[in-house]
Homo-oligomer: A and B are copies of this chain.
Amino acid sequence: MTAITTDLQAQKVAIEKFLETKALEGFPSNLYDAVHHIMTLDGKRLRPMMVLTCAGAYGIPEDKAMSAAISIEVFHNFTLVHDDIMDKAKIRRGKITVHEKYGIDKAIVTGDAMLPHSVDLLIHGNEEKAGTLLNCFNQMAKEVMEGQQYDMEFEDRKDVKVDEYLNMIKLKTSVLFGSACEIGAVLGGASEADRKNLYDFGLYSGLAFQIMDDYLDTFGDENFGKRIGGDILLNKKSFLLVSAMQNANAEQKVRIETLFNEKDEEKKIASFQALYREMDIPKIALDTMEEFHDKSVNAVKATSLTDDAKERIIQLGEVMLKRTK
Contacts and interface: CB of A to CB of B under 8 A. Distances in A.
A18 interface: no
B82 A108 contact: yes
Contacts of A163: none
Nearest to A31: B149
A137 B116 contact: yes
B111 A112 contact: yes
A28 B108 CA distance: 20
Interface string A105-121: 11011111101110110
A29 interface: yes
Interface string A19-32: 00000001111110
Contacts of A112: 79, 82, 111-112, 115, 145, 148
Interface string A130-172: 1110110111011101101110110000000000000000000
Contacts of A82: 108-109, 112
Count of identical protomers in the assembly: 2
A178 to B, nearest CB: 16
A234 interface: no
A86 interface: yes
Contact of A31 (B30, B86, B146): B146
A289 to B, nearest CB: 26
A169 to B, nearest CB: 15
Contacts of A115: 112, 115-116, 141
A85 B106 CA distance: 12
A154 to B, nearest CB: 11
A135 B127 CA distance: 9
A123 interface: yes
Contacts of A149: 28, 30-31, 106, 109
Contacts of A139: 26, 120
Interface string A222-258: 0000000000000000000000000000000000000
Contacts of A143: 28
Contacts of A134: 119-120, 123, 130, 134
Q: Which of A31, A105, A111 has its CB near the most chain B CB atoms (within 10 A)?
A: A105
A156 to B, nearest CB: 11
A278 interface: no
A264 interface: no
Q: Which of A27, A30, A31, A143 has its CB near the most chain B CB atoms (within 10 A)?
A: A30
A128 interface: yes
5 contacts: A28-B146, A31-B145, A106-B152, A112-B112, A116-B142
5 closest A-B pairs by CB: A127-B131, A28-B146, A116-B141, A113-B145, A130-B130
